Amino acid sequence: MPVDLSLAHRSDTLLFLAVVVYSLAMLGFAAEFSFSRRAGIARALTRADAARAATPATAARIRQPAAVGGAGGIATGPPPGAGPATVGPHPPLRSRLDRSTTGDHLGRIAVVLTGLAFLLHAGSVVTRGMAAHRVPWGNMYEYSSMVALVAVAAFLVLLTRERVRFLGAFVLLFVVLFLGLAGTVLYVPAGPLVPALQSYWIAIHVAAAITASGTFALGAIVTVLYLLRAKYDVLTTTGGRPRVSSVGRLLPPATTLDRVAYRVHAFAFPLWTFAVIAGAIWAESAWGRYWGWDPKETWSFITWVIYAGYLHARATAGWRGRKAAVIALVGFTALTIDYYIVNIFLVGLHSYAGV
């Protein structure tokens, strides 16, 4: 059947609108993230006002530093080196509380905008498939769009189970850049599938790979944030001067980030395992062998081994923290090579998956 050019154009328009709304949501999350430290200051000043009206003994207790909420509502503790709250002159408390409330409102608006952008993005994917009369992941442009969609979906699902609004700015930065690359460098007009992809296995094998890839991307983002927080903790403990890692001051505790990263990777790994197995079955159907050490097969297996090592090290050797985080990022690097380098620059049976 011929491509429906009207639907194809509508798909491109919806994706453009989705990127615009994702960008606005990213700015909202970033604003909330930057206001989180001011929220902590406002709470500390509230305790200072209470101390003025208390007896000397009670005031001494009230002036003790209290844990304050970080970005997204996760307790991050007082800023390192902070002493007891003072009761001296300070700027108007109402203005600081207003900025704190503004940050929370911006965060809520950003969540709504993310949901709206997700719907626009999903509409782009659906109309692309309808225009070409096939599944909407037949080339690198479409695959990239789907990976970004899954990453946003994983973030929204995680948002219902964990207090992870602080992730919003970082996840959407990845999504905007990823879609920007897809819509410029990797873009191809809607068209029929090449003969090698005309199989029902594309709806099984590739869908599993997309879901795993998008979830692994979310895991990599959380892992990077964990390393920033851990680095900040080390520098402040040893008296160093945090620079880039000073972002860690506004992040949740390192243990929380490490736990979230592990859960995301543990969810994605079985999906990638299934994708590799389904790809081998499809290879036997298409080429008469389950495995031929094609570059795509090889790097998919390398990625699987690295992530398996990450989960195995945590489960048996008790690896936590930096060691495990490094392995996870090596795995995501292998996944990136598997997607970009192998598809574009290496010649193999999967070369049809290129731009």
Divide the 355 residues of the chain into consecutive groups of 10 and give the mean pLDDT of each group. Answer: 91 97 96 68 43 48 44 47 46 50 84 97 97 93 96 95 89 96 92 84 94 97 94 80 68 91 96 96 88 90 96 83 92 95 76 48
Contact by Cβ (8 Å): 143, 186: no
> What pLDDT sits at residue 345?
82
> What pLDDT sits at residue 69?
40
> What pLDDT sits at residue 219?
96
Question: Exposed, middle or buried by CB within 10 Å (0-12, 13-18, 19+), for 182?
Answer: buried
Both tokens of 331, joined, read 């795995």
> What pLDDT sits at residue 34?
78
Contact by Cβ (8 Å): 144, 181: yes
> What pLDDT sits at residue 287?
84
> What pLDDT sits at residue 100?
57
Amino acid (1-letter code) at residue 107? G
> What pLDDT sits at residue 41?
39
pTM here? 0.81
DSSP character at residue 339: I
